[in-house]
Amino acid sequence: MRARIALVTAVVVPALLLASALHSWMWFFGTLIAEVILLCLFAAFGRSDKRDVTPQELAEELERHFVGTAGPYDWDATTSVELTDERLNRLIPRLIEYDRLDTAEKREQFREIIETLRRGKIPD
């Protein structure tokens, strides 16, 4: 309900302000129509929240985490954004346990995942 109110407010208020400033209700209706058309276009052609990466590109991202050269938000971006490849998408939840590479066993398992991805395969 709040989202609807916010959307209506975001569409109506600018139209009212413009109509008031220009002293014409034609601007109100014209602005409403233009805003609705723009919202429809954004909804139809808006960007996808999915990232399109290959196994090799994902391996490069994981390698930066492994060696410690990743930026402060790189690991979060790697593990929190949905991927277009469903096989890689199923791998992401398993990667979260490698957030901290604090044991030799974890480091070895993580390295094996990276090597498998470099070969273009998806780890089991």
DSSP readout, 27-66? HHHHHHHHHHHHHHHHHHHPPPS-B---HHHHHHHHHHHH
| Tens digit of each residue's pLDDT (9 = 90 or more) over 84-113 | 999 999 999 999 899 888 999 999 999 999
Same domain, 41 and 69: no
Same domain, 60 and 39: no
Same domain, 85 and 113: yes
pLDDT score of 49 more than 90: no
> Do the domain assignments include residue 124?
no
Of 10-24, 44-58, 65-79, the poorest mean pLDDT is in 44-58
pLDDT score of 80 more than 90: no
Burial of 35 from C-beta contacts in 10 A (0-12 / 13-18 / 19+): middle
Same domain, 62 and 31: no
Same domain, 36 and 65: no
Cα–Cα distance measured from residue 1 to residue 75, given in angstroms and rounded to the nearest whole number: 35
Please state, as a whole number, how many other Cβ atoms lie within 10 Å of the Cβ of residue 53.
17
- For residue 48, name the pLDDT band (cuts at 50, 70, 90): low
pLDDT score of 1 more than 80: no
Per-residue confidence (pLDDT) for residue 46, from 0 to 100:
66
Q: What pTM, to 2 d.p., does this model score?
A: 0.61
Per-residue confidence (pLDDT) for residue 47, from 0 to 100:
64
